[in-house]
Amino acid sequence: MTLASAYPPAGTGLVKHSELETLSQGVISQVNDEPVVSVLVAEALSWSSLHGLVVGNTSHERSGTIPGVGLVHAPLSLLPSPFPWQAFSQAIELAPLFNRLVDRVSQDADFLRQALARTRKADSFTARLLDIHLQILDKGVKQEIRLGLHRSDYMLDMATGNLLQVELNTISSSFAALGSLVTSLHRHLINWSGDRSGLEAKNVPENSAADTFAEALALAWKEYGDNRAVVLMVVREEERNMYDQYWLALKLFKSYGIKLIRKTLSQVIAEGKLGSNNELFIGKQVVSVVYYRAGYSPDDYPSESEWDARLLLELSTAVKCPNISYHLAGAKKIQQELAKPGILERFFENKQEIVKVRSCFAGLWSLEDENSDEIIKEAIRNPEGFVLKPQREGGGNNTYGADVSEKLIQLRKTDGGTGLAAYILMQRIFPAVHPAYLVHDGIWSCKETISELGIFSTYLRNGKKEVLNKEAGYLLRTKVADSNEGGVAAGYAVLDSLYLI
Ligand SMILES: Nc1ncnc2c1ncn2[C@@H]1O[C@H](COP(=O)(O)OP(=O)(O)O)[C@@H](O)[C@H]1O
Ligand SMILES: N[C@H](CCC(=O)N[C@@H](CS)C(=O)NCCC(=O)O)C(=O)O
Ligand SMILES: [Mg+2]
């Protein structure tokens, strides 16, 4: 029996989750004999090293600051993971709708500020972002050119078969480059293992994420209209994921001749200034596009100067990706507010579009409304069914299981429950469990895992002109089934790709 016979031919229709499990059991059982696996792992690791599918090796002290020093292959799934093609195409179809939703929400200052009004009292980071937003509004800063490089993350809920959105990232959506490289790796491994694998490379869908992200940055640079300009990437001092970032810089130069410079927020305030027409200069270089790969977490603002840097960038005429309004539109509180009845109708005319977007919403609840008591009691009684989320990005911030009830009880008791406004409650999604080979630091193991599908998308608008609005490839992250948190950078998940069935 070859690997392929464990997978039905692609497109044979939605697979029931029990079948999904049998499928991947089948795949894994075919590869289970050690020699095949370790040979395949060796090929995967050499391919990854030769193709820049790498991350910093944190055990090497300079790995986070000096490119080319202390690299290791990215944490990987050895084989692509089976995924129903209908759910994949549904996620693809949603991409341009979420792009438009973010743009429209970002332009509705009243909605943004009302939705975040109580959160700002309980969460100082959100309050600082809102202060910058208010200054932009007060100064009448025009943000005619708007660039979004988003990633909408989903899990396939086993009980219902529904594709449910975990979150929508509007800032620093990472792994467009490494994610598309994993697709190439898996196609290579299938071809390399010949008919032994029996899998067909064509069932691993094309993944153009890196090229499409570079294209969007280049088109924004063009819309700004100054050929001397560079793209500024705002980065952290120490960065384990710098190669995912450098890939975009390399593609920008190779395909479009555009230079990208990397600066931290403290370097921006030290070297940056506004020209007579509020153009952004870093040293002598004029900047047309500011692409944030930092600035999404309070950790990125250790002092007032980082906030001054953020404001300087937002006041400039450079195209921000994201601008402050897009950043706020991606808050988890906004995700929860958009799920309230009648809210999507504010942003979409087309009824079908509303149905499509609403169909991927998991249960989402605010905790500071008059009628929040009911759901809080339910979550205290049955914490396993919920995830408690602060307004944070970057992984490692959520509360799961029994801790949910503890935290809710504590929040309710403290300061008359005002702290509840800094959180949202979300239905916990339980995807089907499937076996996968996980490879970390050259060591492989076969584990029971669950996967999370991210769909990248690019959006560029200049005034009334919608220049770009499309899906831009995907990221599959796979992690051991009993781990609560996800996240590759956070160290829980590996990079994977899809085998459509
Ligand atoms: N509703 C949920 N059900 C199951 N797992 C979840 C849910 N929400 C988040 N997670 C897990 O936690 C991880 C981080 O949550 P997320 O909302 O993406 O926060 P962050 O912005 O920090 O990435 C996700 O990648 C996923 O693995
Ligand atoms: N190191 C920074 C990481 C930036 C970051 O954490 N981005 C969030 C969205 S805000 C994200 O996409 N998380 C999913 C990737 C994961 O699983 O770790 C970078 O790469 O620029
Ligand atoms: Mg996330």
Q: How far away, in angstroms, is 351 Cα from ligand 2 center?
A: 33
Does the pLDDT at position 348 exceed 80? yes
pLDDT tens digits, 17-34: 555 666 666 566 556 666
ipTM of the complex: 0.98
- Does residue 74 carry a pLDDT above 70? yes
Q: How far is the centre of ligand 1, averaged over its atoms, from the C-alpha of 423 (Å)?
A: 14
| Alpha-carbon distance values, 439 to 45, 99, 155, 325, 466 (Å) | 9, 34, 22, 39, 42
Residues whose Cβ atom is located within 5 A of ion ligand 3: 167
Query: How many angstroms separate the CA atoms of 441 and 39, rounded?
Result: 16
Mutating to test ligand 1, I would choose from 393, 398, 485 the residue with most ligand atoms within 8 A of its C-beta, which is 398
What pLDDT digit, counting tens, does each position of 382-395 carry?
Answer: 999 999 999 999 98
For ligand 2, atom 8, the nearest C-alpha belongs to: 394
DSSP letters spanning 2-66 = -SGGGSPPTTS-PPPHHHHHHHHHHHHHHH-SHHHHHHHHHHHHHHHHHTT-EEE-TTSTTTTTS
Q: Is the per-residue pLDDT at 7 higher than 60? A: no
Candidates 123, 143, 146; CA nearest to 133 is: 143
Q: In this model, does residue 13 exceed pLDDT 60?
A: no
pLDDT at residue 251, as a whole number: 98
Quote the CA–CA distance of 279 and 317 in Å, as a whole number. 5
Residue minimizing CA distance to atom 21 of ligand 1: 393
pLDDT-based confidence at 194, cuts 50/70/90?
confident
> What domains can be seen in the chain, in order of their start residue?
3-364+436-500 (no CATH), 365-425 (3.30.1490.50)
**Rounded to two decimals, what is the model's pTM?**
0.95
Q: How confident is the model at residue 4 (pLDDT cuts 50, 70, 90)?
A: very low
Task: Give the single-character DSSP code of 299.
Answer: G
Q: Is the pLDDT of residue 1 over 60?
A: no
* pLDDT band for position 10 (cuts 50, 70, 90): very low
- Cβ neighbourhood burial of 140 (10 Å; 0-12, 13-18, 19+): exposed
Beta bridge partners of 165: 154, 361
Cα–Cα dist 477/496, whole Å: 6
Cα 498 from Cα 501, distance rounded (Å) = 9
394 noted as active-site residue: yes
**Ligand 2 nearest atom to the CA of residue 171, by list position:** 10
Query: What confidence tens digit (pLDDT) does each residue in 121-161 have?
Result: 999 999 999 999 999 999 999 899 999 999 999 999 999 99
Question: Which ligand is located closest to the Cα atom of residue 486?
Answer: 1
Give me the pLDDT at residue 17, please.
55
- Can you give the pLDDT at residue 258? 98
**Centroid of ligand 1 to alpha carbon of 28 (angstroms):** 27
Is 487 known to be catalytic? no
Confidence of residue 3 (pLDDT cuts 50, 70, 90): very low
Average pLDDT over all residues of the chain: 93
Mean pLDDT of 344-373: 97
Residue 389 is a catalytic residue: yes
- Ligand 2 nearest-atom number relative to CA 174: 12
Q: What is the 3-state secondary structure (H, E, C) of 244-292?
A: HHHHHHHHHHHHHCCCEEEECHHHHHHHEEECCCCCEEECCEEEEEEEE
pLDDT for 6 beyond 60: no
Residue 170, ligand 2, Cβ within 6 A: no
Q: What is the mean pLDDT of residues 268-283?
A: 98
Asked whether 97 and 469 are in contact (CB, 8 A), the reply is no
The per-residue pLDDT for range 432-447, each reduced to its tens digit, is: 998 899 999 999 988 8
Mean pLDDT along residues 448-464: 97
